[in-house]
Chains A and B, each alone.
Chain A
Amino acid sequence: MRFRLFWLLAFVSVSLSLLLAQRRPRFEMLEDNPSPFPADGNEKTEFAFARLMYPSFSGGYWGWQGAWATDYPKADRQFMQGVRRLTRIHARSAEEVVDLESDKIFDWPWIYAVEVGHWELNDKQAAKLREYLLRGGFLMTDDFHGTIEWDVFLASLQRVFPDRPVEDIPNEDEIFHVLYDLDERFQVPGIRYFYSGRTYEQDGIEARWRGVYDDDRRLMVAICHNMDLGDAWEWADLPRYPERWASLAYRIGINYIIYAMTH
Chain B
Amino acid sequence: MFEFLFSHPAAAFQKGEFVLLGPAPWWMLALSILAAAAGLGWLIWRRRSALAAGLKGWRPAAIWALQATLAALLLLLLWQPALQLSALKPQQNVIAVVVDDSRSMSIVDGGETRSAGAVTALEGGLLGSLSESFQVRLYRLGDRLERINGLDQLTADRQATRIGEGLREVVAEAGSVPIGAVLLMSDGADNSGGLDLKTLAEVRSRRIPVHTVGFGRERFEKDVEISAVELPDRSLADSRVAARVTFRQRGYAGSKARLTVRDGGRVLVSKDIELDSDGGQQTESLLFNAGSAGAKHLLVSIDPLEGEENPRNNTLSRLINVESAKPRVLYLEGEPRWEYKFIRRAMQKDRTVQLTSILRTTQNKIYRQGVASPDELKDGFPSDLKELFAYEGLILGSVEAGYLTPSQQQAVMEFVDRRGGGVLFLGGRAALADGGYKASLLAEILPVTLPEGKATFRRDRVGVRLAAGGRDSLITRLVENPEANEKRWSDLPQLADYEEAGSPKPGAMVLAELMSPNGRPMPLLVTQNFGHGRTAVFATGGSWRWQMQQDLADQTHEVFWQQLLRWLVTGTPGQVLSSTPRQVLADESRVPLAVRVRDKNFMPVLDARVEAKIMGPAGASGVAELSPDPKEPGIYIGEWQAGNAGGFVAEVVARRGEEEIGRDVLNFRREDGVAENFRAEQNRELLGNLASQTGGRYWKPDELARLPKEITYSEAGITVRETRDLWNMPAVFLALILLKAAEWFLRRRWGVV
- Enumerate chain A interface residues (CB-CB to B < 8 A): 44-47, 86-90, 103, 106-107, 109, 131, 134-137, 178-179, 216, 257-258, 260-263
Cβ A106 vs Cβ B544 within 8 A = no
Q: Which residue of B lies closest to A218 (CB)?
A: B345
How many whole Å from B430's CB to the nearest CB in chain A? 9
Q: With a CB–CB cut-off of 8 A, which chain A residues contact B551? A: 131
Given known contacts A86-B362, A261-B341, A263-B341, A106 and B548 CB-to-CB distance under 8 angstroms: yes
Which of B335, B548, B552 is the one whose CB lies under 8 Å from A107?
B548
Q: How far is the CA of A179 from the CA of B366 in the complex (A)?
A: 9
Given known contacts A87-B361, A263-B341, A106 and B459 CB-to-CB distance under 8 angstroms: no
Q: How far is the CA of A103 from the CA of B337 in the complex (A)?
A: 21
Cβ B459 vs Cβ A44 within 8 A = yes
Cβ A261 vs Cβ B338 within 8 A = yes
Q: How far is the CA of A106 from the CA of B550 in the complex (A)?
A: 9
Cβ A260 vs Cβ B341 within 8 A = yes
Q: With a CB–CB cut-off of 8 A, which chain A residues contact B429? A: 46, 90
Q: With a CB–CB cut-off of 8 A, which chain B residues contact A88? A: 334-336, 360-363
Q: How far is the CA of A179 from the CA of B336 in the complex (A)?
A: 11
- Enumerate chain B interface residues (CB-CB to A < 8 A): 334-338, 340-342, 344-345, 348, 359-363, 365, 367, 369, 429, 459-460, 496, 541, 544-545, 547-552
Q: With a CB–CB cut-off of 8 A, which chain B residues contact A87? A: 336, 361-362
How many whole Å from B694's CB to the nearest CB in chain A? 72
Q: With a CB–CB cut-off of 8 A, which chain A residues contact B363? A: 88
How many whole Å from B589's CB to the nearest CB in chain A? 52
Which of B359, B459, B544, B550 is the one whose CB lies under 8 Å from A109?
B544
List the 10 closest A-B pairs by CB distance, nearest first.
A44-B459, A261-B336, A88-B335, A106-B548, A89-B336, A46-B337, A261-B341, A134-B552, A179-B361, A135-B548
Cβ A45 vs Cβ B459 within 8 A = yes
Q: With a CB–CB cut-off of 8 A, which chain B residues contact A263? A: 341, 344
How many whole Å from A163's CB to the nearest CB in chain B? 15
Q: How far is the CA of A204 from the CA of B342 in the complex (A)?
A: 36
A-B contact count (CB 8 A): 80
Which of B348, B367, B459 is the one whose CB lies under 8 Å from A258?
B367
Identify whether the interface residues of A are mostly helix, strand, loop, or mixed: loop
Cβ A136 vs Cβ B548 within 8 A = yes
Cβ A179 vs Cβ B547 within 8 A = no
Cβ A258 vs Cβ B338 within 8 A = no
Q: How far is the CA of A262 from the CA of B358 in the complex (A)?
A: 11
How many whole Å from B391's CB to the nearest CB in chain A? 20
Given known contacts A88-B334, A90-B429, A106 and B549 CB-to-CB distance under 8 angstroms: yes
Given known contacts A88-B361, A179-B367, A262-B369, A135 and B547 CB-to-CB distance under 8 angstroms: yes
Q: With a CB–CB cut-off of 8 A, which chain A residues contact B360? A: 88
Q: With a CB–CB cut-off of 8 A, which chain B residues contact A260? A: 341
Q: With a CB–CB cut-off of 8 A, which chain A residues contact B341? A: 109, 136, 260-263
Q: Which residue of B lies closest to A178 (CB)?
A: B367
Which of A46, A90, A136, A178 is the one whose CB lies under 8 Å from B547?
A136
Q: Which residue of B lies closest to A132 (CB)?
A: B548
Most interface-central of B348, B360, B362 (chain A CB within 10 A): B362
Q: With a CB–CB cut-off of 8 A, which chain B residues contact A136? A: 341-342, 345, 544, 547-548
Q: Which residue of B lies closest to A43 (CB)?
A: B459
Q: Which residue of A lies closest to B342 (CB)?
A: A136
Q: How far is the CA of A135 from the CA of B545 in the complex (A)?
A: 10
Q: With a CB–CB cut-off of 8 A, which chain A residues contact B544? A: 109, 136
Cβ B359 vs Cβ A262 within 8 A = yes
Q: Which residue of B lies closest to A44 (CB)?
A: B459
